[in-house]
Amino acid sequence: ASFVDVKSVEKTYFTPSGVVHALGPISFSFDRGQTVGIVGPSGCGKSTMLKVLAGLEDRTRGEITVQSRNVNGPLDDVGVVFQKDLLLDWRTVLENVLLPAELRGRVDEKIRTRARNLLEELGVSGFENNQPWELSGGMRQRVSIARALLLKPSMLFLDEPFSALDALTRDKMNVIVQRLQMHEEVTTFFITHSIAEAVFLSDRVIVMSDRPGRIIDDIEVGIPKPRT
């Protein structure tokens, strides 16, 4: 078995205004340490797939196993970053990054050092004691990524994290994330509407089409990173 196996997974939303078949059935697997890019037109089910995989939405049908264990409900050790960062403006940058540890009652000097190191790796050192509203959009997203990685999750989910940023900032972010991938052992699932971005950051690119939420291509790119 692979690290993650997705078998015939489907998602249908039942809403007061009707039934939306948003995803699948889709099946695919990925290995530990891989970065999987997801591209496809708006509304094709990328976010739905990410939320179902991360356990933020229930699936309607199908099976997901992580390390051969059947998954139902939220996964414990995942980090998620959305297009809109969810930083708390009344907390400092460092306090935002420490939030996941605080919620688990696990703030100590070791985790503070980890938070500072992540901020440094992401090029946000020197801003630990600033408030998020004092930072640029690109920096805020880097703080979000630091927060998502704090507790060393086995999987990181990024849903168009840079699409609200200007092109130059986006390029810079991609280089920073690529550098980060060399140090952090985290399986990454990355949604983008830029194929160039997907190819740059991913070991593998999954292409989805709408009508309804299917995988139409699955491409290995570049030199696969060593897998553990």
Q: Nearer to ligand ADP by C-beta: 24 or 153?
A: 24
Task: Name, in order, each residue with C-beta under 8 angstroms of 38's C-beta and a sequence gap of 6 or more.
Answer: 46, 49, 50, 189, 190, 191, 192, 198, 205, 206, 208
What is the residue whose two structure tokens read 């249908």? 12
Q: Nearer to ligand ADP by C-beta: 111 or 145?
A: 145
Q: Nearer to ligand ADP by C-beta: 34 or 48?
A: 48
Q: How many CB atoms lie within 10 A of CB 149?
A: 22
At its nearest, how many Å lie between ligand ADP and the CB of residue 137? 16
Helix (H, G, I), strand (E, B) or coil at 32: coil
d(CA 6, CA 213): 14
d(CA 39, CA 37): 7
d(CA 58, CA 180): 31
Identify residue 115 by its one-letter amino acid code: A
At its nearest, how many Å lie between ligand ADP and the CB of residue 19? 9
Q: Nearer to ligand ADP by C-beta: 40 or 153?
A: 40
Q: Nearer to ligand ADP by C-beta: 158 or 177?
A: 158
At its nearest, how many Å lie between ligand ADP and the CB of residue 158? 12
Pull the structure tokens for residue 221. 């790119």
The residue ranges that bind ligand ADP (CB under 6 A) are: 13, 15, 20, 22, 40, 42-48, 83, 160
At its nearest, how many Å lie between ligand ADP and the CB of residue 53? 12
Pull the structure tokens for residue 139. 């920096």
Helix (H, G, I), strand (E, B) or coil at 18: strand
Q: Nearer to ligand ADP by C-beta: 94 or 207?
A: 207
Q: Are 195 and 183 in contact (CB under 8 A)?
A: no
